[in-house]
Amino acid sequence: MSNILVLFDSSTGHTEKMATLVAEGAASVSKTEVRMRHIQEALPQDVIWADGIALGTPTQLGCMSSGMKAWWDEHSRELWSRIDGKIGTAFTSAGSWGGGGELALMNCVSMMMNFGFLVFGTTDYSGPKTSYHYGAVSAGAPQEDAVRDACLQLGQRLSSWVAVYKDGREELHPHHLDRAKRFPHLGTNP
């Protein structure tokens, strides 16, 4: 079994909706147990338990929320060097396109690298003009299909990497996914 933690903060509810989609995508891979935790209820033990972690935060001032940051600052000493090598990714709800979503994701990425995580984004597009190369971004609530698919795919991808890398289930490698489905908007491009 693979253990996946979706750890999120949310103020308007937008990031929580994304978290639900990421969790659904993660659970779509067999032999995967998913925990979804708001930072107000999450325990350091949840991170230790997990093989893969999706970190979700509102984008506030081009950065993760102070609540998310405070959670990691508070538990940093307890967790540091005990969660080395876990697989991580991030998602965020920003107020707007161009408004800091990517920066908030990279803020999560560099924080996870501090703890020794292996962090990923994706090559994929989830719709026209919508990709999630550094994790999933939504401007406002995740309403558009392309954004919702980005969340679903990100969760699935997280479970897949854990399955491939931790459990040796090579058949779940994204290379085996249907290329035309993965890149429908790319035509004959690579």
Residues in contact with a second copy by CB under 8 A are 60-66, 69-70, 72-73, 76-78, 80-82, 84-85, 87, 95-103, 106-107, 109-111, 113-123, 125, 129-134, 136-137, 139-140, 150, 161, 164-166, 168, 173-175, 179, 182-183, 189-190
Burial-class residue 176 by CB neighbours within 10 Å (0-12, 13-18, 19+): exposed
DSSP-derived secondary structure letter, 41: T
The 3-state DSSP class for residue 10 equals coil
* Chain length of the chain: 190
Which amino acid is located at 39 in the chain? I
CB of 60 to a second copy, least distance (A): 6
Burial-class residue 10 by CB neighbours within 10 Å (0-12, 13-18, 19+): buried
CB of 114 to a second copy, least distance (A): 5
* Closer CB to a second copy, 1 or 175, in the complex: 175
CB of 180 to a second copy, least distance (A): 12
CB of 37 to a second copy, least distance (A): 18
Whether the Cβ atoms of residue 54 and residue 6 lie closer than 8 Å to each other: yes
CB of 31 to a second copy, least distance (A): 17
Q: What angle do CA 188, 139, 182 make, to 5 degrees?
A: 25
